[in-house]
Amino acid sequence: MITLSVSTGQQVDFADITSRVREEVASSGVQNGIITIYVPHTTCGVTINESADRDVASDIKMQLAKLAPRDAGYSHLEGNADSHIKTSLIGSSEQVFIEDGKLVLGTWQGIFLCDFDGPRTRKVYLKILSD
């Protein structure tokens, strides 16, 4: 298993980790297989979506803020219930196929670490399986 360390810069921050995942696939030498990208946090997830236009990430953040407002009478005493809810909506893992040594992503797709309780340094676990 590979561990990436990703630092975020804002309370809610989407960090594009596509190039770092690509580098790990390249150095693994695996030509055909699958990679799992897993985030071991309760207030931080991972998603695949458009990376060409950063407004897409901004729009997702805006809508998640409407779905789970910061303060809505939650029971969780830590004060970050919205961060937990957003993480469950986004999910904690993604899988991408590897063909000819490359990630199989659509033209506009990128892999984002989605921090909902930053800024801080987060871990991303990668597991690469060969065919």
Query: Applying CB under 5 A, which of residues 23, 55, 78, 99 lies at the interface with Zn ion?
Result: 78
Q: DSSP 3-state assignment of 27?
A: helix
Query: Applying CB under 5 A, which of residues 57, 80, 126, 128 lies at the interface with Zn ion?
Result: 80
70 binds Zn ion (CB under 5 A): no
Q: Which is nearer to Zn ion, 78 or 99 (CB)?
A: 78
Select the span of 25-33, 74-82, 102-110, 122-130 touching Zn ion (CB under 5 A): 74-82
51 binds Zn ion (CB under 5 A): no
87 binds Zn ion (CB under 5 A): no
- Of 93, 114, 96, 111, nearest to 51 by C-alpha is 111
CA 108 from chain centre, in angstroms, equals 16
Q: How far is CA 70 from CA 25, 41, 82, 85, in A?
A: 37, 18, 5, 10
CA 1 from chain centre, in angstroms, equals 17
Biggest CA–CA distance in the chain, Å, is 50
Counting residues that bind Zn ion (by CB under 5 A) gives: 2
Minimum Å distance from CB 78 to Zn ion?
4
In the complex, which residues of this chain contact Zn ion (CB under 5 A)? 78, 80
